[in-house]
Structures are given as structure tokens and as C-alpha cells.
Amino acid sequence: MTESDAFLIRLNAVFDSARPAAVALSGGVDSMTLAFTAHARLGSDVTMYHAASAAVPESATGRVRTYAERHGWNLRIVDAGEFGDERYLANPSNRCFFCKSSLYGTLSSLTGAQLFSGTNTDDLGDWRPGLKAAKNNSVRHPFVEAGMSKADVRAMAAAHGLDDLAELPSAPCLSSRVETALRIDPATLRAIDTVEMLLRRDLSPQTVRCRVRQGGVVVELDEATLATLSAATRMALSDRIRTTFGDPRPVQFESYTRGSAFLRGEGA
């Protein structure tokens, strides 16, 4: 028996204890792998809910739709309503609490099924206000209950032949690209998504983040990709980025730093 087999036995025990179930599906590797394994076990007893909004990359929503069609998932696309919450729009350091509160509150109003999230054990080591919102809404985390880390989730995706998920880069919501205390604006989020899609297409980076900060736009790339950018290329990309945002804000290129737009304690 492989390690993934052992984890799947634990996951199935969680699934069996929660019929019917509902998976909050972001489109990332964790929730997608959870949805795949939950559907394999529960079939029609599980429904996938995806909250589509300006904060969600178009590629993530497209991935959700493709998988649902391919694997026969019962999928519902919903509006979680976070853009109607001024506390979320103000972008405090605990913005995720308000976002997840809107999400889980909306899902609870739509279904009486047990809510599942794709949280894994690695997430427990971070400061994640969204976990408090999950607790407030009695959301369960099957990967945590099964003792699975991010690497374990990727290994499970690979074991099921879901190579596109196993190798999928992490992609937090687009609001995480906006510096803490700068107001969340749908047009800004759409511009961020457009810029990141542009850079993936033109540069094929391992990692890319388009950050919006008080002083302008900062494009973060993995060091290998950053090293290939000539002065002329940077200038040309900067012009395209400014055009996308529709204003003459400064554009800088830096090495990727995880969570660099987050200023804990600011705007809380």
C-alpha cells in the first residue's frame, strides 16, 4: 500500500461521515484534488460550489468548469457577495476573514450539507483569518483530518493521474496582490489577472505575481525569469502594464517574495 493509498482510506472515512457534503472549490490544487476524491467516494452525495468573482483568476474558473464537465461533478457557480461587504473592500490585514465569512455564509444559505475546504496541514502554520471564518461556519478540512500536507495533496493528485493539478503553481486570490489597506477594486483585480496572463504567455515564468502597492505596480518573478529580462524588454512590458491599468503608475520588476503585499497589523 502506498502512502497515497493510506491517505485515501483516511479521506474516505471523513467523506463517509459527512453525507451529503459540499466542497468549496477555488480552482487550486487543494480544493480540486479534494473535489475529485470526494466525488469518487460520494458521487451524487457531494456538490461542488465555486464562487466566481473579480478576485478569482479566469483560469481558475475555467479549470473548475472543465473538470466538472469532464468528471461529471454536480457544480454550482455562485456569487459569494464579498464585494458587498465594506469591511472586505477596505482590505484590512484580516480581509480573508470577511471574504471567507461571505463565502461560507452564502454556501450555508444554499445547502444544509457538510461544508468541506481544501485546507491542508501546512496551512495551519500560517496566520490565516479565513480559518476562523471556517470554524464559525462548522466547515471541515478533510486533508487536515487525514494529516495531509501540501506535498501529500500533490502526490495524491499525481497518483490519480491529475498531473496538471499536481504541478499547478500556488495561486492565492487576486485580492492578495493588493497591498494591505489599499482599497479592493474589481477593475484593479481584473487588470492584475490580465497582466499575469500576459506575462505567463510571453515569459513562461515559474512564478509570477503582479502586486499593486502604494507606490505603483511591482511585478515579481522567479529569479531565473527575472534574470532574462533586458532593459528593453522591461521597458516594453512596463508600457503594456500601464496600458492595462489605464494610468501612468510606476512599474518595477523584483524577485518573487511570498506574501509581500501583506502588511500584518495595517488596516486591521
DSSP characters for 65-91? HHHHHHHT--EEEE---GGG-HHHHT-
Q: What is the pLDDT of residues 96-115, one digit of tens each?
A: 999 999 999 999 999 999 99
Do 107 and 234 belong to one domain?
no
Domain that residue 194 falls in: 174-255
Alpha-carbon span 122 to 148, nearest angstrom: 8
Q: What is the pLDDT of residues 118-138, one digit of tens each?
A: 999 999 987 788 999 999 999
The answer to whether residue 103 sits within a structural domain is yes
Q: Which of 166, 195, 215 is at the close of a domain?
A: 166
pTM of the model: 0.93
> How many structural domains does the chain have?
2
The answer to whether residue 260 sits within a structural domain is no
Do 92 and 199 belong to one domain?
no
Do 26 and 159 belong to one domain?
yes
Alpha-carbon span 254 to 256, nearest angstrom: 6
Q: What is the mean pLDDT of the chain?
A: 94
Query: Residue 25 maps to which CATH number?
Result: 3.40.50.620
Alpha-carbon span 95 to 197, nearest angstrom: 25
Do 160 and 178 belong to one domain?
no
Do 56 and 112 belong to one domain?
yes
Alpha-carbon span 14 to 146, nearest angstrom: 8
The answer to whether residue 89 sits within a structural domain is yes
Residue 6, C-beta contacts closer than 8 angstroms, at least 6 positions apart: none
Residue where the block lists cell 489597506 = 181
